[in-house]
């Protein structure tokens, strides 16, 4: 079953220290673990929320807003898409994320749809 691991943190907490090559070592380890276990479908970090554009359509009119739609304490920082047997396994991978001590990881099943529809 496919799951999204949605990674959130409070931006006021600051970024973790980078290694000389610009990578965050703990995240490289976490990503490599998912890859080596054969469960990683994809994933990436996201640019800061201030770079977001929110798109809405009201009464046929396109409305654009800079930044996030809602004010939240935690911002979505990135995601992993994984394919594992069940929710318990997905939660196990979420617990391995370096952010878990200061932020959160939302585990959400991916909706299965018929691609031919």
Tens digit of each residue's pLDDT, the chain (117 residues): 999 999 998 877 665 555 555 557 888 999 999 999 999 999 999 988 888 888 889 999 999 988 766 667 788 999 999 999 999 999 999 999 999 888 899 999 999 887 745
Angle, alpha carbons 76-71-65 (nearest 5°) = 90
Rounded to whole angstroms, the Cα distance separating 106 from 117 reads: 29
Number of domains comprising the chain: 1
Residue 7 lies inside a defined structural domain of this protein: yes
Q: Is residue 97 part of a domain?
A: yes
Q: Is residue 115 part of a domain?
A: no
What number of CA atoms fall less than 13 Å from residue 94's CA on the CB side? 22
Percentages helix, strand, coil for the chain, rounded to the nearest 5? 25, 35, 40
Q: Which domain holds residue 89?
A: 2-14+22-109
Q: Is residue 58 included in any domain, yes or no?
A: yes
Cβ atoms of 82 and 41 closer than 8 Å: yes
């Amino acid at each position: 079953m496919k799951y999204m691991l949605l990674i959130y943190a409070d931006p006021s907490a600051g970024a973790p220290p980078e290694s000389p090559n610009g990578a965050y070592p703990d995240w490289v380890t976490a990503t490599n673990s998912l890859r080596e276990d054969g469960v990683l479908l994809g994933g990436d970090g996201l640019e800061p929320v201030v770079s977001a554009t929110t798109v809405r359509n009201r009464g046929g009119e396109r409305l654009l807003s800079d930044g996030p739609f809602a004010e939240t304490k935690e911002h979505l920082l990135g995601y992993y898409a994984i394919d594992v047997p069940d929710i318990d396994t997905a939660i196990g991978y979420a617990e391995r994320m370096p952010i878990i001590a200061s932020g959160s990881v939302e585990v959400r099943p991916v909706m299965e749809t018929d691609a031919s529809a």
